[in-house]
Amino acid sequence: MKTTQFWKLLPEEKLLIFESNCVVCEGNIENFLEYDFVGAPLGTADKFSFHGGFSLRSKQKMIECIVRGRSSEGEPEDQFFTRMMRQIGAVTPDFTSACRFAVSSTYEGPPVGVPATDQCLHPMEVADKIVAGITY
């Protein structure tokens, strides 16, 4: 995912990355189309990165990040893109808005999705709220 070749294969400009261990909760994704990169926030409100497993991304900004930046050895792709998005001035949400898109540990209302459901990133009471908010 850290190569321009990968992103150039994809025909659409807005892309939802959805790994096999994710859950989609509801369909309000249009509330987040303004962002170039959004995923569940990992960390605290003053210092966080976006979880890439369930994320919405702008293809051209991904390519720009790759062209303009370098990833250090072993740096996860989502941390690389979070860092580079901030460096290039791309449009990314604040902590609370990112929590409304996807949940890692902080619940701010029914999310669009949940990444890494097999990793138990949130406490059981948050999991109960997520399940109760899933629409069919």
pLDDT band at 104 (very low <50, low <70, confident <90, very high): confident
pLDDT of residue 136: 65
pLDDT of residue 72: 85
* Cα 22 off chain centre by: 11
Give the mean pLDDT of the chain. 88
> What pLDDT, in 10s, does the model give residues 23-42?
788 768 999 999 999 999 99
Amino acid residing at 80: F
Residue 113, pLDDT score: 82
Virtual CA dihedral for 62, 64, 65, 69, nearest 10 degrees?
150
Q: Is 85 exposed, middle or buried (0-12, 13-18, 19+ CB in 10 A)?
A: buried
How many alpha carbons fall within 13 Å on the CB side of residue 9? 6
Mean pLDDT of 50-63: 95
48 has a pLDDT exceeding 90: yes
Write b or e for each residue in 36-54: b if 16 or more Cβ atoms lie within 10 A of its Cβ, otherwise e.
Answer: bbbbbbbeeeeebbbbbbb
Query: What is the pairing mode between strands 113-114 and 23-24?
Result: antiparallel
The pLDDT of residue 127 is: 75
Predicted TM-score (pTM) of this structure:
0.88
- Alpha-carbon distances of 125 from 96, 109, 121, rounded to whole Å: 19, 13, 12
